[in-house]
């Protein structure tokens, strides 16, 4: 029996226990939510999950349409953000002089809240999809840049010198040393970047849109349709949770050697 095969039962046991505890927490949250919505809090402010589930079934067609629009804008913006964020991160990480020059401007822009810059991008790109994609592409790319630069800075300089002493060039050092060593930081930046892309799109949709989960939440809140508001929030939470789980599994596949070494 191979080492991987021998380790698999233990891995399944750990994952099974993890999902079991997640299920217990989920059921507990639903129970408390149901009790609070029915007996403790005014239903105008808190709809119980049984009511929310009924509305979710009733508006499933509209919910699917709004979710598809939001997902399209998030994925497009995130793809653009990942492209420029990874490229900029490795360029800045490889050139410390350029990184020191650019770093204050990145920090200043990163400090500006999404809610402050989104109206400007809506004014420039209009009310359609482009403004949402632009907002996501800008804000999701910044943490990717920062994480990649941090990852390159934390590469062991002794390892680089050892590989260079063996005759490796810059390209070989990058492929064999820098890229694998900075991969954990890159993947962490991608996970954070996707979350920011989702937030950026939702904020833009709440400010100016005709469709999408952000628009649905804002419209439901403005018309005091509390169950519809919670339907939108549940959809957003599920979208974020599924995306995080997918990126986490991708991280494990790309870095299986890292996790197996840590066991």
Residues 15 and 94 in one domain: no
Amino acid 106: pLDDT = 84
Please give the average per-residue pLDDT across 36-52, as a whole number.
Answer: 86
Count of domains for the chain: 2
- pLDDT tens figures, 75-84: 999 999 999 9
14-28, 77-91, 155-169: the lowest-pLDDT one: 155-169
Mean pLDDT for all residues in the chain: 84
6-15, 92-101, 221-230: the lowest-pLDDT one: 6-15
CATH number (domain holding residue 96): 1.10.3720.10
Amino acid 5: pLDDT = 46
Residues 100 and 198 in one domain: yes
Please give the average per-residue pLDDT across 218-246, as a whole number.
Answer: 90
Residue 166 has pLDDT above 90, yes or no: no
With beta carbons less than 8 A apart as the criterion, state whether 134 and 121 touch.
yes
Residues 221 and 182 in one domain: yes
Residues 1 and 123 in one domain: no
Distance, CA of 82 to CA of 8 (rounded, Å): 32
Residues 130 and 102 in one domain: yes
- pLDDT tens figures, 117-152: 888 888 889 888 899 999 999 999 999 999 999 888
Residues 34 and 75 in one domain: no
Residue 15 has pLDDT above 80, yes or no: no
Q: Domain range spanning residue 29?
A: 1-41
């Amino acid at each position: 029996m191979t080492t991987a095969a021998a380790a698999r039962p233990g891995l399944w046991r750990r994952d099974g226990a993890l999902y079991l505890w997640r299920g217990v927490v989920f059921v507990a949250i639903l129970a408390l939510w149901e009790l609070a919505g029915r007996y403790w809090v005014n239903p105008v402010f808190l709809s119980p999950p049984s009511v929310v589930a009924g509305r979710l079934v009733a508006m499933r067609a509209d919910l699917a349409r709004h979710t598809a629009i939001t997902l399209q804008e998030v994925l497009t913006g995130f793809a653009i953000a990942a492209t420029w964020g990874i490229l900029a991160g490795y360029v800045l990480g490889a050139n410390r002089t350029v990184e020191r020059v650019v770093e204050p401007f990145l920090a200043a822009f990163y400090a500006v809240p999404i809610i402050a810059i989104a109206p400007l991008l809506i004014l420039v790109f209009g009310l359609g999809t482009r403004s949402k994609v632009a907002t996501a592409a800008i804000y999701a790319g910044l943490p990717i840049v920062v994480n990649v630069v941090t990852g390159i800075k934390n590469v062991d300089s002794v390892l680089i010198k050892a590989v260079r002493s063996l005759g490796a060039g810059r390209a070989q050092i990058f492929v064999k040393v820098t890229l694998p060593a900075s991969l954990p930081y890159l993947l962490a930046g991608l996970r954070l970047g996707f979350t920011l892309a989702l937030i950026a799109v939702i904020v833009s949709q709440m400010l100016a849109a005709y469709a999408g989960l952000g628009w649905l939440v804002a419209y439901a809140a403005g018309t005091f349709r509390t169950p519809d508001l919670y339907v939108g929030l549940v959809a957003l939470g599920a979208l974020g949770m599924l995306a995080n789980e997918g990126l986490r599994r991708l991280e494990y596949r790309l870095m299986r050697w890292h996790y197996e070494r840590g066991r």
